[in-house]
Amino acid sequence: MPQAQQTAQAAQTMIGQANPTAIMFFVLFVLITLGITWWAAKRTRTTKDFYAAGRSITGFQNGLALAGDYMSAASFLGIAGLVSTKGYDGLIYSVGWLVGWPIVMFLISEPLRNLGKYTFADVVAYRLNQRPIRAAAAAGSLVVVLTYLIAQMVGAGTLIKLMFGLPFELAIVITGALMISYVLFGGMIATTWVQIIKAVLLLGGATLLVILTLGKLNFSYVNLFNQAATATPLGQKFLEPGGLVTSPVDAFSLGLALMFGTAGLPHILMRFYTVPDAKAARKSVFVATGFIGYFYILTVTIGFGAAVLVGQKVIMGIDAGGNMAGPLLAEALGGNLFLGFLSAVAFATILAVVSGLTLAGASAFSHDLFVGVIRRGQASEKDEVKVAKIATVGLGATAILLGILFKGQNVAFLVGLTFAIAASANFPALLMSITWKKFTTAGAVTSIYTGLIVAVILLILSPTVWVDIVHKSEAAAVAKQVKTIEDATKAKIADIEKQRVGGLNAAKVAEIDAAIAAVKKDAEPQIKTAKEQMPKAIFPLKNPGIYSMAAAFLIGILVSLMAPDKAAEAKFEGEKLREYIGIGAED
């Protein structure tokens, strides 16, 4: 019966097969973006063009591009999937991804634009020793970029395989080759426009999907939720908080990483140099926050809509994680044409995000490592652009290789790691350098490395990696053993239950109840002993944010206070003037 059901479901959807409509839309997107890249290539001469699009992007355009950088395919498909399978918990999850943006605006955006040139290391190194700072900041940037890139690449391969029926490796190679072309030839100008086009397509597609969904429900959210409350086996619980937040400390730690991690993502920070001034920088965050918030509300609606109009059984039959909830809903409401369009948009989304990451990684390599560390600040523009282009190809190839290497691995933890490192290695040093007069070179360097190392080590020792990945087989064995005991107990109870036939006297009923209770009591210690064998994480929290961030701030402060740097303190006045007024800011 389940077999028959599955084939029936598979017959209803085009997902997982080569879809000509999707391929047509995707080829169209690729042609347009390559056209833009060709146009951008003619305008990309100097480092300012390559890293910062000549600072010619308006605040509104940059807001769209920032939103594009942040709205990944994983968040579009993943959050809709989480909502369609877990309900309210998916909504909680989506909120966490937005709250970092106001922090970026209040603390970072304007000082960053006023003080820096191309990378956030410019700001940290403003009045400190260039070489050690740039080496440390480049390390922080490159680790963040690479972990995020692997997560995106592996996700891309899996999603494209699901949606287009392309082999995993081919999907990764196509993604990598296009991403390298955009960045290599069109630099930041092409990357920005790819990002803007993708953001418009994604927001437009999601809006249309929501309109079609609500159209089926009399344009009433109340109606949507009423139906959602009866559509799943969870019933009313579908609209209540479930198991996502069980440990407050864990939730707090993840929340900190998400909030301050956004303000430490190199590909986001780099965008603030593409606008003409601090005023445009701040406007772009307002625009980005609005679009990203709107996007999450759409995505959550799509998730609930899919649970109601498609049904959990079908969604989870295609992909257990629910990742295909959005595309399935599109197919149900708009047929193959809309499914094809949305699949192409998801592919475009992946491409745009990895391009932004590659450019950020290449700039950390060329601007910070090559010019700042190796050439001690002395390099011609021509050399710098050349190195940036070599780094682009190198990073792209690395991303393709790692993507294929990590095939089939659970890489979800990498996204958490990315935000934890960004919040611990990059954000504290950045914040202290713009606000604290007594911050020193040694303080900044030790803070960055501490944040980086503590975040990585604690994550390896956390349940996310230590139990779910390192001791995966042991954990599975214990789970299997527990299940065996539970199944045996259930069978025994079912056996006893058989005696319960109509017309029994009270004594007999009590006897049966007692027998069942005895079986249950018997099983309890067995299950307990079995569960004690479960591998335990050395570090208890799933996300290390709270400790790694605290360590980075603490070390940065202590080291700075122990060995004051009078020269750096003296330069603080000039920094302050430029930070607040924008005098001397790069134009």
Partner 1 sequence: MSSKKKTVHEILEDEDFTSLSGQKNSISIILTVLELVLYFGFIALIAFNKPFLAQKIVGEGATTIGIPIAVGTILLSWVLTGVYIFWANSKYDSLVKKVKEKIEG
- Cβ proximity to partner 1: between 168 and 225 the closer is 225
CB 252 to partner 1: min, Å: 7
Among 16, 96, 276, 535, binds partner 1 (CB under 8 A): 96
Dihedral over alpha carbons 185, 186, 187, 193 (to 10 degrees):
-150
What's the Cα-to-Cα distance from 486 to each of 98, 225, 516, 521, rounded to whole Å? 42, 36, 13, 12
Stretch that binds partner 1, among 95-103, 115-123, 144-152, 195-203 (CB under 8 A): 95-103
- Cβ proximity to partner 1: between 498 and 566 the closer is 566
Among 36, 133, 285, 549, binds partner 1 (CB under 8 A): 285
Task: Say if residues 384 and 370 touch (Cβ distance below 8 Å).
Answer: yes
Stretch that binds partner 1, among 125-133, 143-151, 222-230, 532-540 (CB under 8 A): 222-230
Task: Say if residues 299 and 80 touch (Cβ distance below 8 Å).
Answer: yes
Q: Is 351 left (phi over 0), alpha (psi -120 to 50) or beta?
A: alpha
Among 10, 32, 41, 107, binds partner 1 (CB under 8 A): 107
What's the Cα-to-Cα distance from 244 to each of 80, 258, 300, rounded to whole Å? 16, 16, 16
Chain CA centroid to CA 576, Å: 34
**Measured distance CA(285)–CA(369) in Å, rounded:** 28
Among 102, 276, 311, 394, binds partner 1 (CB under 8 A): 102
Size of the site for partner 1 (CB under 8 A): 52
Q: Which residues contact 551 (CB under 8 A, 6 or more apart)?
A: 424, 450, 451, 454
- Cβ proximity to partner 1: between 375 and 576 the closer is 576
Question: What is the total residue count of the chain?
Answer: 587
| Span 265-284, contacts to partner 1 by CB under 8 A | 279, 282-283
- Cβ proximity to partner 1: between 92 and 214 the closer is 92
CB 496 to partner 1: min, Å: 36
**Does 95 help bind partner 1 (rule: CB under 8 A)?**
yes
Task: Say if residues 379 and 130 touch (Cβ distance below 8 Å).
Answer: no
CB 58 to partner 1: min, Å: 15
Among 10, 30, 34, 99, binds partner 1 (CB under 8 A): 99
SS3 (DSSP) at 217:
coil
Q: Which residues contact 294 (CB under 8 A, 6 or more apart)?
A: 203
- Cβ proximity to partner 1: between 301 and 363 the closer is 301
Q: What are 90's two structure tokens? A: 């998916």
**Does 241 help bind partner 1 (rule: CB under 8 A)?**
yes
Chain CA centroid to CA 359, Å: 17
Task: Say if residues 360 and 155 touch (Cβ distance below 8 Å).
Answer: no
CB 67 to partner 1: min, Å: 12
Site string for partner 1, 517-556 (x = CB under 8 A): ----------------------------------------
SS3 (DSSP) at 218:
coil
| Span 425-484, contacts to partner 1 by CB under 8 A | none
Upper half-sphere CA count for residue 318 (Cβ side, 13 Å): 31
- Cβ proximity to partner 1: between 99 and 534 the closer is 99
DSSP string, 559-583: HHHHS--HHHHHTHHHHHHHHHH-T
Site string for partner 1, 48-87 (x = CB under 8 A): ----------------------------------------
Closest Cα to residue 228, out of 329, 334, 306?
Answer: 306
Stretch that binds partner 1, among 130-138, 158-166, 172-180, 235-243 (CB under 8 A): 235-243
- Cβ proximity to partner 1: between 72 and 366 the closer is 72
Task: Say if residues 407 and 154 touch (Cβ distance below 8 Å).
Answer: yes
**Does 30 help bind partner 1 (rule: CB under 8 A)?**
no
- Cβ proximity to partner 1: between 51 and 101 the closer is 101
Contacts to partner 1 by CB under 8 A: 88, 91-92, 94-96, 98-99, 101-103, 105-107, 221-222, 225-226, 228-230, 236, 239-241, 244-245, 247-248, 251-252, 255, 259, 279, 282-283, 285-286, 289-290, 293, 296-297, 300, 573-574, 576-577, 580-583
